[in-house]
A and B are shown apart, each in its own frame.
Chain A
Amino acid sequence: MNPLIETKGLKKYFDVCGCKLHAVDQVDLTIEKGKTLGVVGESGCGKTTLGRTILGLTPATSGQVLYAGRDITNCTPRELKALRSEMQIIFQDPYSSINPRHRIGNIIGEPMRVNGIEKNAKRRKEKVLKLMAQVGLEKSLYDKYPHELDGGRRQRIGVARALSVEPKFIVCDEPVSALDVSIQAQILNLLMDLQEERGLTYLFITHDLSVVKHISDEIAVMYLGKCVERASSERLFEHPMHPYTKALLSAIPIPNAEARTIKTEVIKGELVSPIDPKPGCRFAARCPHAGALCTQGEVSLRELEPGHFVSCTLYTESEVLGASGIFGMSAMI
């Protein structure tokens, strides 16, 4: 066990008109070196805030973020600056995330320059060109401006910029959501290749469960600021336990003939903001299995089988202990 990133009881609250918006609430995560943690959730679940807080772009309200065993939540600005070349971020929107007034070569080279990685302009250009080749950008684009490029190429620039400081850890914040389907797959493959070549560690944020399936080793499902289920990628898809995870899975439209015949259970209700949330499970209002237990007291994340954490009252302790084979909701319903 050698976690590169670890969060302990991480909280981030925002002040909204005198109320507290619980964007990230008591989240514990670990990401092993060279692995990918997928964070999945719908809008307003705090997944983006989680990424930003881990990077220190927004200060945490409480809790710890450990990078290679060191708490980085209380870093001095100087220490934080040193960390910038270790941890990077790839943004969702390839249009607003790159400065339209800069040439592509400068955009990719800037982080090297300000972090003092390569001060010599000529050598920097060589490095940038090498990086561009790695992410699949033509050399001729070095002196072009971003507005001449399409979304896919722009996203490659975003990837190259993040890689330019040779980070060990990258937060990918919905890097493919704004792209066309065929381009999405290209970028996903690129990210996977780069991970293999460079031993990168990813936190991959997305709203689309099917996207993380391929790239993640472990997946955390978030709902209104809380992590409701965490398991290895395979286990989560094979055997989802939290009702919200099940709802998410069944909501994905699958492009095959069976999709028509399976009458999926559509989950009711809407997403709300976690402003001064009531105690108990935050999914209770929409949950088809909600009972009295769900709204009394805190529902915490428990390890129901090795490596599979669920926060749901449907699974009692006794069941956990006794049942290694008879998992599943069928017994409960």
Chain B
Amino acid sequence: MGQLLNIKDLEVVYQTKNIVVEAVNGINLSLGKKETLGLVGETGAGKTTMALSILKILPERTGKVIGGSIDFDGLPILDLNETEMRAIRGARISMIFQDPMTSLNPTLTVGEQVEEGIILHDTEYKTKVEVKSRVDEILELVGIEPSRKKCYPHEFSGGMKQRVVIAMALACSPEVLIADEPTTALDVTIQAQVLSMMDDLKEKLGMSMLLITHDLGVVAKICDYVAVMYAGEIIEYGTFEDFFINHKHHPYTKGLFGSIPNIRDRSKRLNPIEGLMPDPTNLPMGCKFHPRCKQCMEICKVKPPQIYVNGTHRVKCHLFEKQEVE
């Protein structure tokens, strides 16, 4: 397999004295070179937890990986020590966070913050002049005038700040970019600007991207592969075509599509998923989605479904068992 990032049976919990939160429950995922994978799910689905475990930056005291492995370009991430991880973070795998307002240090200029990553890591840019020209280059790439690098973050608008954050993440030409809800905090027109820029950039730089979002529309815009997460599991995985051209989906995915107000659609009412996300400290038996599922069967309540594969399309649902037989 020519995959860059392989996640196998990953299990992560948040553990405190009395409570164990099962955040990620056995995830298998892989990301190839130059591919973009969209990870879709709602609050509490475990998307961010998974991203944090890839970089090994889970909250130290509570977050624990209790099973599985993560393999990055032949390196077993979970077995690496802090020093080895530091060489990977920011240089080979970068991450951008949701809120551009809080991910920049207000006391440093934008240029200094972009520079920091380049200096910290062992890159090809050694001399001061080289670093400076790299900063200019990368700022230009994300659509910021290099002359503005002496400005402080508060002099930028939200959209521009997110561009700076992206520039910081890209400064060392990482192989994988993890973007955690990169456009959620932005206005619609600004979101469109940032999205189209990210789409161009990944082509230009040839990097892989893991895009975490709750918005299927964003996924449709730039992703090659899609994985839908629910209660710490991937319940559906497939290519762009599997998701947006075929119409056979996991009932949860169907629910997600039905919940989105579609501007092309003329119907008056929406078809939401009833009920709420399950309590991660007390997950239901069997299929974790069964209490909210409209097509719930007896078997769903007792036995967790296996994954049914159809070409590139993988669905974790008992409904698909029948279709296989037929």
Contacts and interface: CB of A to CB of B under 8 A. Distances in A.
Interface in B173-203: 187-193, 195-196
B5 to A, nearest CB: 24
A181 B228 CA distance: 14
Contact of A251 (B189, B260, B276): B189
Interface string A215-254: 0000000000000000000000100000000011111111
A150 to B, nearest CB: 6
B182 to A, nearest CB: 13
A285 to B, nearest CB: 13
Interface string A177-203: 000111111101100100000000000
A181 B44 CA distance: 13
A253 B218 contact: yes
A270 B264 contact: no
Contact of A256 (B214, B244, B268): B244
A28 interface: no
Interface stretch (B16-24, B76-84, B251-259, B306-314): B251-259
Interface string A242-276: 00000111111111110110001011101110000
Interface residues of B, number: 46
Contact of B263 (A42, A43, A237): A237
Nearest to B185: A43
A303 B268 CA distance: 27
A278 to B, nearest CB: 19
Nearest to B246: A257
B272 A186 contact: yes
Nearest to B192: A251
Given A209-B263, A266-B192, A271-B157, A260 B240 contact: yes
Interface residues of A, number: 44
Given A181-B42, A185-B259, A252 B217 contact: yes
B306 to A, nearest CB: 25
Contact of A152 (B188, B256, B271, B276): B276
Contacts of A151: 43
Among A150, A181, A248, A271, the most chain B Cβ lie within 10 Å of the Cβ of A181
Contacts of A208: 188, 261
Contact of B261 (A43, A183, A188, A266): A188
B75 to A, nearest CB: 33
B270 A188 contact: yes
Nearest to B215: A253
B264 A180 contact: no
A268 B194 CA distance: 11
B15 interface: no
Contacts of A253: 191-192, 195, 215, 217-218, 220-221
Contacts, number: 136
A214 B270 contact: yes
A213 B116 CA distance: 46
A192 B195 contact: no
B273 interface: yes
Given A185-B259, A185-B270, A255 B220 contact: yes
B276 A210 contact: no
B211 to A, nearest CB: 12
A272 B190 CA distance: 12
A12 interface: no
Nearest to A150: B276
Contacts of B274: 186
B13 interface: no
Interface string B21-32: 000000000000
B7 interface: no
Interface in A143-189: 150-153, 180-186, 188-189
Given A252-B217, A255-B219, A255-B220, A182 B272 contact: yes
Nearest to A179: B43
A47 interface: no
Nearest to B143: A268
Contacts of A188: 261, 270, 272
Contacts of A35: none
Nearest to A136: B274
Given A186-B274, A188-B270, A43 B262 contact: no
A210 B260 contact: yes
A184 B189 contact: no
B241 interface: yes
A189 B269 CA distance: 7
A54 interface: no
A42 B42 contact: no
A248 B271 contact: no
A268 B193 CA distance: 7
Among B157, B192, B193, the most chain A Cβ lie within 10 Å of the Cβ of B192
B1 interface: no
A16 to B, nearest CB: 16
A211 interface: yes
A267 B42 CA distance: 29
A189 B187 contact: no
Contacts of B244: 255-257, 259
A185 B272 contact: yes
A255 B188 contact: no
Interface of B: 42-43, 157-160, 187-193, 195-196, 214-221, 240-241, 244-245, 255-264, 268-274, 276-277
Given A189-B269, A255-B217, 18 more contacts: A42-B187, A152-B276, A180-B42, A180-B277, A181-B42, A181-B259, A185-B260, A185-B273, A208-B188, A250-B192, A252-B217, A253-B195, A253-B221, A254-B264, A255-B216, A257-B240, A270-B157, A271-B190
29 contacts: A42-B188, A42-B189, A43-B158, A150-B277, A182-B259, A185-B272, A185-B273, A186-B274, A188-B270, A192-B269, A207-B187, A207-B188, A208-B188, A208-B261, A209-B188, A210-B261, A210-B262, A210-B263, A213-B262, A237-B263, A251-B192, A255-B215, A255-B257, A259-B217, A259-B221, A260-B240, A266-B196, A268-B193, A271-B157
